[in-house]
Amino acid sequence: MIDPVLMYGPTITLNFDQWMAKLHLDDATKKQIIKNSKNIISKSLPVEMIDEILKYLKNSEKGNKYNDFLKLLVNNNLRYVFLNDYDHDNCRIGFIVENYEDFSKTDKENVDNFCKKYKLGKPTFYGGFTGDIDGVKLRELQHLYETGYTGQMLRYLYDQKQQIPIEEFKNHVRFTDRYLSDGNGTLALNGKLWIIKNNMVKINDKIRKFIIV
């Protein structure tokens, strides 16, 4: 399910990797970290371990850049939107205009300044799409993560590297079964935030990358 939204921002269309490069989130400093790490571990570890460790470092770097990208947008009251369903190759950024008549001068100036800083061209109004994944509304996900019992549950599951027993989950977060069911399916109150199978639970990996930590 997708929802149309009115946006104010640059009309540049890029995929996520291109946006991260455009906003200088793949700069030489981060590349140097990988290079330095390689030099250090090459001197201290067996050869057969080096490739696996470097692979981990590179994947971690990409995940950090993606998180930096989301944080940069949120800190500037911007969002990314798709031009067609969830087409990650056709993504734009901008300010979601909830009400055209209430679009303030301050909001406009903030977007204008952001576009000027990153040389994105003159912003304008355009239409885009936001939506949900497995019933989880992406526009509400960050709020769910940061507040209330649902947020406590999500934050705990986010930190787990693999599925855990439901009883362990309950003992750590101390929630009621109602909150568990609210995030346990595409038609649940909050969509499928987590997946439960054979008394084991884990965060829905489809939404993990959309959470800003």
Q: Where residue 25 falls among pLDDT bands split at 50, 70, 90?
A: confident
φ and ψ at residue 67, rounded to 5 degrees: -65, -40
Q: Please check the confidence at residue 169 and state whether its pLDDT lies above 90.
A: yes
- Distance from C-alpha of 50 to C-alpha of 41, rounded to nearest angstrom: 7
Condensed to tens digits (0 to 9), the pLDDT of residues 105-134 reads 999 999 999 999 999 999 999 998 887 888
Q: Please check the confidence at residue 37 and state whether its pLDDT lies above 90.
A: no
- Distance from C-alpha of 120 to C-alpha of 21, rounded to nearest angstrom: 12
Cβ neighbours of residue 172 under 8 Å, at least 6 residues apart? 156
| CA distances from residue 51 to 55, 154, 209 in whole angstroms, order as listed | 6, 33, 25
Q: Where residue 10 falls among pLDDT bands split at 50, 70, 90?
A: very high
Domain boundaries, the chain: 2-133, 136-208
pLDDT of 3 = 78
pLDDT of 35 = 57
Cβ neighbours of residue 190 under 8 Å, at least 6 residues apart? 135, 136, 144, 150, 182, 183
Residue 205: enclosing H or E segment and its boundaries? helix 205-208
159: helix, coil or strand?
coil
